[in-house]
Amino acid sequence: MTEFNELAQLLFPTIDKEPEYYEALYPPRNLKEGARVTRLAPSPTGFLHLGNLFAGTVAYRTAKTTDGVFFVRVEDTDQKRKVDGAVEVMLNGLKTYDITADEGVMPDGSQKGDYGPYVQSQRVHIYQAYAKSLVAQGLAYPCFCSAEELDRIRESQANEDIKGYWGEYARCRNLSMEQIKENIAAGKQWTLRLRSPGEVDKRCCFDDMIKGRIEMPENVQDVVILKSDGIPTYHFAHAVDDHLMRTTHVVRGDEWIASAPIHLQLFKVLGFKPVKYAHVAPLMKEENGNKRKLSKRKDPELAVTYYNQEGYPAESVNEYMMTIMNSNFEDWRRANPDESLDKFPFNLKKMSVSGALFDIVKLTDVSKNVISKMPAKKVYSLAYSWAKEYNHQLANLFEQDEDKAIAILNIDRENKKPRKDIAKWSDVPDYLSYMYDLTFVPNYELTGNATPALAVKVLEKYIDTVDLADDKDTWFARIKDMCSSVGCTPNVKEYKADPDAFEGHVGDVSTIIRVALTGRTNTPDLYHIISLLGEDTVKERLTKALQHYKEA
Ligand code: GLU
């Protein structure tokens, strides 16, 4: 037995599998040419932020547009940060946005697929098999340095360009077998370090799918690959997992770029084909003319739960995300207004290098558009689901009469130019408040030529003429007919030609009726509102308004 083999056996006496075993167990995937295998690798901290959703969407779309595989792996090696139930919260959050994995950890916590387990804490024996093999080849070694010793090393490097555990500072790099045995016999704790083959003057280059060519100094650090409890560091787990799970493209936050030289070195030392990286820049926000990262502390909109609470449909968020994800998306959307998002040829190369600007105002616009295209039944069902959780009064109103609710939501909808009043479900209670007596708040303020005096005349007449059996044309013809008897003209042009000749025009007359019935000067189609309010309510509101103007 060589000395390295002996050391490997000493450090990992219970590990009996060789890497070849796992290579055979997790063979290369049988996918068509060009298919990409991507993953989302959340750490279970319980907080799903927009960045996770963004990166998850990028990874998901990359797999989907190439007929590849998208899987979820839970990275729970940092047990201190672990929050119970967090994985389920995160995966269910992603599911809301249609980000569902083909394999890996599922939202109910179960696992699916041939490349598992997909939870890092269940893979420790695998990491250790690879670690043992590195030790046996002399490519990794145990380090017995205490935290204090590492501090001392750092202090002694005050004038060095390159700090850390490397070269001559790597104290345990060349311990003799005797010394190692002594330390172990004495019960000293050890971590396992990579014997870095890096050289100070060499460069590490790679082509990032998003950022393009990246060049950095090669890694020379003898980085820790297993912590003293035998659990791998992110670096080592990433290399082993993404190799064995046959990931082709690693989509992750660009805070990892700095560590890429370590990762590429690990791939090399382990004999793995390197993955391709797609480093995603963080989402940015514009504030007082400056761009800054969205922050957990300052920006509630960073939490994905914010969108659920406000009631932005997932479809809107996905649509908006795509507009900031791929620079050509909006052109594609204009050319394909009704096509599903899944048909968009998502491309990593079209992503922002420096960080996409997330703008809630733009999201709101996109969402208004998305909702305006939804059929009334869908609006009803999504708004109702939202209301059950966040607005019980609305849920109750909906439950009292589902058909009425759908009919209300269908006013000026399902046509070529639908109105765009609703951006999120929390807009709905206000949007239709006047359609229910319970939530109607009168407001008799008038605009234009509509004065209280004119209102008295109009309402007195209208109470007598309104007939809910009228069709729309007859209804409007009646309003026009009324005009001259209240000193107005049914013809706006005629009014404009000689404003002094009239008290107002048909628009003013309509405004008076609209305000009396809804408390607003701008609403969807008044004819439909009237028919849905019903005769009793219409008469009652007209009468109350009339009384108000008389007393004014
Ligand atoms: N678990 C890592 C994180 O949450 C994932 C990084 C990666 O995707 O490789 O930051």
pLDDT in tens, 2-32: 899 999 999 999 999 999 999 999 999 999 9
The beta strand positions in 161-313, using DSSP E, are: 191-194, 203-208, 212-217, 224-226, 249-253, 276-280, 284-287, 290-293
Q: Are the C-beta atoms of residues 90 and 42 closer than 8 Å to each other?
A: yes
Determine the distance separating the centroid of ligand 1 and the alpha carbon of 41, expressed in angstroms: 5
Determine the distance separating the centroid of ligand 1 and the alpha carbon of 87, expressed in angstroms: 13
Bridge partners (DSSP) listed for residue 87:
none
Q: Is the CB of 238 under 6 A from ligand 1?
A: yes
In whole angstroms, give the CA distance from residue 304 to residue 521.
35
Query: What is the pairing mode between strands 69-72 and 103-105?
Result: parallel
Could you tell me the CA-to-CA distances from 429 to 264, 387, 412, 436, 438 in Å, in that order? 54, 9, 17, 10, 11
In ligand 1, the atom with minimum distance to the C-alpha of 255 is 10
Q: Whose CA is nearest to atom 5 of ligand 1?
A: 41
Q: Is the CB of 235 under 6 A from ligand 1?
A: no
- In this structure, how many other beta carbons lie within 10 angstroms of the beta carbon of residue 215? 9
Determine the distance separating the centroid of ligand 1 and the alpha carbon of 121, expressed in angstroms: 15
pLDDT of residue 89: 87
Terminal C-alpha separation, the chain: 105
Q: Which of 436, 467, 452 has its CA nearest to residue 512?
A: 452
Q: Which of 410, 427, 413, 429 has its CA nearest to residue 311?
A: 427
Q: Which of 81, 118, 252 to mutate to test the pocket of ligand 1 (most atoms within 8 A of CB)?
A: 252
Residue type, 240: V
SS3 content of the chain, % helix, strand, coil (to 5): 50, 10, 40
In ligand 1, the atom with minimum distance to the C-alpha of 55 is 8
Determine the distance separating the centroid of ligand 1 and the alpha carbon of 234, expressed in angstroms: 8
Q: Which of 38, 43, 236 to mutate to test the pocket of ligand 1 (most atoms within 8 A of CB)?
A: 43
Determine the distance separating the centroid of ligand 1 and the alpha carbon of 52, expressed in angstroms: 9
Determine the distance separating the centroid of ligand 1 and the alpha carbon of 42, expressed in angstroms: 6
Q: Dihedral (C-alpha) 517, 519, 524, 528: value to the nearest 10 degrees?
A: -10
The beta strand positions in 269-408, using DSSP E, are: 276-280, 284-287, 290-293
In whole angstroms, give the CA distance from residue 118 to residue 297.
31
Length of the chain: 552
pLDDT of residue 1: 64
In ligand 1, the atom with minimum distance to the C-alpha of 42 is 4
Determine the distance separating the centroid of ligand 1 and the alpha carbon of 552, expressed in angstroms: 66
In ligand 1, the atom with minimum distance to the C-alpha of 242 is 9
Q: Which of 234, 249, 267 to mutate to test the pocket of ligand 1 (most atoms within 8 A of CB)?
A: 234
**How many CA atoms lie less than 13 Å away from 196 in the CB half-sphere?**
24
pLDDT of residue 83: 75
Determine the distance separating the centroid of ligand 1 and the alpha carbon of 252, expressed in angstroms: 6
Q: Is the CB of 41 under 6 A from ligand 1?
A: yes
Determine the distance separating the centroid of ligand 1 and the alpha carbon of 43, expressed in angstroms: 7
pLDDT of residue 162: 92
Could you tell me the CA-to-CA distances from 282 to 30, 71, 138 in Å, in that order? 33, 22, 39
Q: Is the CB of 62 under 6 A from ligand 1?
A: no
Which two structure tokens, joined as six digits, stand for 181? Answer: 């045995």
- In this structure, how many other beta carbons lie within 10 angstroms of the beta carbon of residue 408? 25
In ligand 1, the atom with minimum distance to the C-alpha of 256 is 6
Instruction: Return all residues near 284 (Cβ < 8 A) that are at least 6 apart.
Output: 291, 292, 293, 294, 354, 355, 356, 357, 358
Determine the distance separating the centroid of ligand 1 and the alpha carbon of 267, expressed in angstroms: 17
Is the bond leading into 117 cis (omega within 30 degrees of zero)?
yes
For 115-131, the pLDDT digits (tens) are 999 999 999 999 999 99
- Determine which helix (DSSP H) or strand (DSSP E) holds 39, and give its type and residue range: strand 37-40
In whole angstroms, give the CA distance from residue 522 to residue 52.
40
Q: Which of 54, 210, 256, 262 to mutate to test the pocket of ligand 1 (most atoms within 8 A of CB)?
A: 256
What is the full per-residue pLDDT of the chain (552 aa) written as tens digits? Answer: 689 999 999 999 999 999 999 999 999 999 999 999 999 999 887 778 898 899 999 999 999 999 999 999 999 988 777 777 888 888 999 999 999 999 999 999 999 999 999 999 999 999 999 999 999 999 999 999 999 999 999 999 988 899 999 999 999 999 999 999 999 999 999 999 999 999 999 999 999 999 999 999 999 999 999 999 999 999 999 999 999 999 999 999 999 999 999 999 999 999 999 999 999 999 999 999 899 999 988 999 999 999 999 999 999 999 999 999 999 999 999 999 999 999 999 999 999 898 899 999 999 999 999 999 999 999 999 999 999 999 999 999 999 999 999 999 999 999 999 999 999 999 999 999 999 999 999 999 999 999 999 999 999 999 999 999 999 999 999 999 999 999 999 999 999 999 999 999 999 999 999 999 999 999 999 999 999 999 999 999 999 999 999 998
Q: Which residues of 175-208 are buried (b: 16+ CB within 10 A; e: fewer)?
A: beeeebeebbeeeeebbbbbbbebeeeeebebeb
Q: Are the C-beta atoms of residues 49 and 296 closer than 8 Å to each other?
A: yes
Q: Which of 241, 344, 359 has its CA nearest to residue 294?
A: 359
CA angle 160, 165, 169 (to 5 degrees): 65
In whole angstroms, give the CA distance from residue 274 to residue 205.
12
In ligand 1, the atom with minimum distance to the C-alpha of 252 is 8
In whole angstroms, give the CA distance from residue 328 to residue 81.
39
Determine the distance separating the centroid of ligand 1 and the alpha carbon of 491, expressed in angstroms: 66
Instruction: Return all residues near 396 (Cβ < 8 A) that are at least 6 apart.
Output: none
Q: Is the CB of 42 under 6 A from ligand 1?
A: yes
Q: Is the CB of 233 under 6 A from ligand 1?
A: no
Determine the distance separating the centroid of ligand 1 and the alpha carbon of 453, expressed in angstroms: 69
Q: Is the CB of 75 under 6 A from ligand 1?
A: yes
In whole angstroms, give the CA distance from residue 211 to residue 256.
13
pLDDT of residue 545: 98
In ligand 1, the atom with minimum distance to the C-alpha of 45 is 4
Determine the distance separating the centroid of ligand 1 and the alpha carbon of 265, expressed in angstroms: 18
Q: Which of 284, 302, 242, 300 has its CA nearest to residue 266?
A: 242
In whole angstroms, give the CA distance from residue 209 to residue 206.
9
Q: Is the CB of 57 under 6 A from ligand 1?
A: no
Q: Is the CB of 43 under 6 A from ligand 1?
A: yes
